[in-house]
């Protein structure tokens, strides 16, 4: 088991609970784009194998907190790459389940996505997750409204998210099936 505390990580499918991609989060005077996801058991196991993290707490993982409804582990994965350039909108890759670029679509609460992250240990000794790309597996986001918020089912067309499928078998090199 490798417990190197840094490296590229492609997450399993994770439910999005919130996103700051259309405009940055400016909390604590630190302007950043971010997406908050539920840490699933598969994600916990992957991080345990890759980084030696078995205790998900505020003392070990930066940007982690417990959800109020189900006590889920919620992780904030962020980037300052675009805000440093004074860009208001996240400019990193966002693709659909087939690897096609999603123009003008920003994942939101209710969507399911895989994230491409850079993981490292910061000055505080906590493991930090930095956003490098998003693969939208399932679009369920309401954009603040209910249900599908008027979105048509575009899963059969070009440049759209396909219906969720079974995750590919885990391998040591899980970057092969992602387009970025």
In this prediction, residues 72-79 reach a mean pLDDT of 93
Output the six-digit token pair for 50.
Answer: 């890759």
Better pLDDT: 171 or 88: 88
Closest CA to 138 of 120, 158, 155: 155
Contact criterion met (CB below 8 Å) for 159 and 96: yes
Q: Where would I find the H helices in 28-173?
A: 41-51
Per-residue pLDDT at 73: 95
Rounded CA-CA distance 30/164 in Å is 34
Helices first, then strands: H and E counts in the chain? 1, 8
CA 53 to chain centre: 18
Q: Under 8 Å CB-to-CB from 77, ≥6 apart: which residues?
A: 34, 35, 36, 37, 63, 115, 117, 129, 130, 131
Residue 151 has pLDDT above 80, yes or no: no
In this prediction, residues 57-79 reach a mean pLDDT of 91
Highest mean pLDDT among 86-95, 109-118, 142-151, 160-169: 109-118
Over residues 1-48, the pLDDT tens digits come to 444 567 899 999 999 999 988 887 887 777 888 999 999 999 999 999
Better pLDDT: 178 or 154: 154
Closest CA to 115 of 6, 4, 13, 7: 13
Residue 150 has pLDDT above 50, yes or no: no
Per-residue pLDDT at 154: 61
Better pLDDT: 169 or 128: 128
The pTM assigned to this predicted structure is: 0.73
Over residues 112-145, the pLDDT tens digits come to 999 999 999 888 889 999 999 999 999 986 533 3
In this prediction, residues 72-101 reach a mean pLDDT of 88
SS3 85: helix
Exposure class string for 113-150: b at 16+ Cβ within 10 A, else e: bbbbbebbeeeeebbbbbbbbbbbbbbbbeeeeeeeee
Output the six-digit token pair for 36.
Answer: 């908050």
- Residue tagged 């906590």 (tokens): 126
Beta bridge partners of 65: 74
Better pLDDT: 10 or 167: 10
Which domains, from first to last, does the chain contain?
7-138 (2.40.50.140)
Residue 164 has pLDDT above 50, yes or no: no
Per-residue pLDDT at 85: 80
């Amino acid at each position: 088991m490798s417990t190197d505390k840094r490296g590229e990580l492609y997450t399993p499918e994770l439910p999005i609970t919130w996103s700051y991609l259309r405009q940055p989060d400016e909390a604590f005077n630190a302007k950043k784009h971010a997406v908050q996801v539920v840490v699933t058991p598969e994600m916990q196991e992957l991080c345990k194998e890759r980084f030696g993290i078995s205790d998900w707490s505020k003392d070990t993982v930066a940007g982690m907190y417990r959800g109020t409804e189900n006590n889920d582990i919620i992780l904030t994965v962020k980037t300052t790459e675009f805000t440093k350039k004074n860009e208001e909108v996240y400019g990193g890759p966002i693709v659909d389940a087939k690897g096609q670029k999603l123009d003008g679509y920003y994942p939101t609460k209710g969507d399911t996505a895989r994230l491409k992250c850079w993981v490292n240990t910061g000055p505080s000794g906590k493991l930090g997750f930095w956003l490098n790309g998003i693969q939208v597996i399932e679009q369920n986001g309401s954009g603040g409204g209910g249900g599908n918020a008027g979105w048509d089912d575009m899963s059969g067309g070009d440049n759209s998210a396909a219906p969720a499928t079974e995750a590919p078998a885990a391998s040591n090199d899980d970057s092969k099936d992602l387009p970025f």
